[in-house]
């Protein structure tokens, strides 16, 4: 376990710390600028996460290997508070380390770990998002017998793997996903080598020490969260936005814009069957400019969509479809179809509008 460094005795500005972290990140990591902004503020968050009610998971994903995920974890290890790599950590010790030391977990190659380890890590990820949430496990007590025990697992977690589809929507809704891409062959990045983050670590600690009261007041007062973010994503981005305000409007704008760009960054990988159906219904109704559709025709259309067949491998009957749509308050009705000269059970297009608005991202402007 990395020991906490003794803070410097000289005050330092938040903007100076973030600018120095940004310079280092851009020097060593090939990635979009918005990712670098988030990385810089996330480092500062690891030093003061206990002031906030929520701490987002940072997912580092890529389509294939060799896209810089491990290098990025190595960069974080230089600057984060109490970095703890989980490569050789047993499942039982994960919970003890989280509870006793409040580290920054650095988890590499999640997708290659055995199912038991993945389940333990997932438990820590989901329950460690909100302060006060605990994980209960049986643990050996002083008399040698196994007894139930609760572990505090709240804190920062940075995780790298191939694709975010390894995770449930419950996890990705608590996360910020950085999709890394392989750098072009002609782009040269220096090796991290002997990069020493001790000075910036000390500056982060000193800044936190000097600004405890300000942070407490700022957290209590709240901050503007972009309206496009869901409640859960607003919770995830709030600590980063609050910290950015201490560095001035430039940094606040950078993080707010990054939130707008990245808040749905996991969505396509973790879309549920319900959401998939809604997306296809919206596409169908808009494309064909329909005012009504029969239950049979809608089920036939959905069953012919390749992504539905590949992702869920099931045949939708009219009754299954009705049960799925009923969860959104969309109920089939008996409708007269003049072109067919008959009445069928089906759906009016307007009955989907509330669900489209509440559950789907807005359509791009024409």
- Give the start-to-end residue ranges of the domains of the chain: 14-268, 271-359
| Element containing residue 293 per DSSP (H, E) | strand 292-294
What pLDDT is stored for residue 127 in this prediction?
87
Report the alpha-carbon angle 243-180-238, nearest 5. 20
Structure-model confidence comparison of residues 230 and 144, the more confident one: 230
| Strand 157-162 relative to strand 175-179, pairing | unpaired
| Element containing residue 92 per DSSP (H, E) | helix 91-101
Alpha carbons 136 and 116: distance in angstroms, whole number:
16
Distances (CA, A) of 232 to 25, 50, 238: 28, 18, 10
Alpha carbons 140 and 130: distance in angstroms, whole number:
27
pLDDT digits (tens, 9 = 90+) for 194-248: 899 999 999 999 999 999 999 999 899 988 899 888 888 899 999 999 999 999 9
pLDDT digits (tens, 9 = 90+) for 282-293: 989 998 899 999
pTM higher than the cut 0.85: no
Alpha carbons 352 and 28: distance in angstroms, whole number:
48
Taking 50 as the threshold, does the pLDDT of residue 7 lie above it? no
Alpha carbons 308 and 80: distance in angstroms, whole number:
41
pLDDT digits (tens, 9 = 90+) for 47-78: 999 999 999 999 998 877 888 999 999 999 99
* Closest of 250, 187, 264 to residue 37, by C-alpha: 250
pLDDT digits (tens, 9 = 90+) for 247-280: 999 999 999 999 998 887 665 545 567 778 888 8
Q: Could you say which DSSP state residue 166 is in?
A: G
- Angle, helices 231-245 vs 212-221, to 10°: value is 140
What pLDDT is stored for residue 15 in this prediction?
95
What pLDDT is stored for residue 87 in this prediction?
64
Structure tokens, 120: 């333990």
Which residue(s) pair with 219 in the sheet?
none
Distance of CA 300 to the CA centre of its chain: 34
What pLDDT is stored for residue 11 in this prediction?
53
Class of domain 14-268 (CATH, top level)? alpha beta
């Amino acid at each position: 376990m990395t020991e906490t460094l003794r803070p410097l005795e000289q005050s330092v500005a938040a903007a100076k710390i973030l600018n120095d972290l940004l310079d280092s990140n851009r020097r060593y990591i090939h990635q979009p600028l918005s990712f670098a902004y988030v990385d810089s503020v996330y480092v500062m968050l690891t030093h003061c996460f206990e002031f906030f009610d929520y701490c987002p998971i940072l997912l580092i994903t890529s389509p294939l290997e060799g896209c810089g995920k491990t290098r990025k974890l190595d960069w974080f290890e230089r600057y984060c508070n109490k970095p703890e790599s989980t490569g050789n950590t047993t499942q039982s010790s994960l919970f003890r380390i989280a509870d006793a030391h409040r580290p920054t977990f650095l988890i590499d190659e999640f997708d290659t770990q055995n199912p038991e380890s993945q389940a333990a890590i997932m438990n820590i990820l989901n329950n460690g998002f909100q302060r006060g949430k605990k994980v209960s496990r049986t643990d050996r007590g002083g008399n040698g017998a196994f007894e139930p025990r609760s572990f505090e697992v709240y804190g920062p977690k940075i995780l790298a793997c191939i694709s975010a589809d390894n995770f449930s929507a419950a996890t990705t809704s608590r996360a910020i996903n950085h999709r890394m891409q392989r750098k072009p062959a002609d782009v040269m990045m220096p090796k991290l080598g002997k990069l020493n983050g001790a000075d910036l670590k000390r500056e982060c600690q000193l800044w936190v020490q000097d600004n405890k009261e300000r942070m407490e007041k700022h957290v209590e007062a709240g901050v503007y969260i972009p309206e496009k973010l869901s409640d859960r994503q607003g919770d995830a981005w709030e600590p980063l936005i609050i910290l950015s305000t201490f560095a001035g409007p430039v940094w606040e704008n950078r993080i707010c814009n990054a939130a707008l760009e990245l808040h749905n960054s996991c969505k396509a990988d973790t879309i549920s069957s319900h959401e998939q159906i809604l997306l296809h219904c919206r596409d169908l109704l808009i494309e064909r400019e329909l005012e009504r559709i029969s239950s049979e025709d809608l089920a036939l259309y959905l069953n012919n969509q390749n992504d539905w067949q590949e992702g869920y491998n099931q045949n939708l009957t009219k009754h299954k479809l009705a049960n799925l749509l009923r969860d959104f308050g969309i109920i089939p009705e008996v409708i007269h179809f003049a072109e067919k000269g008959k009445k069928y059970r089906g759906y009016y297009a307007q009955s989907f509008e509330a669900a489209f608005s509440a559950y789907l991202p807005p359509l791009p402007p024409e």
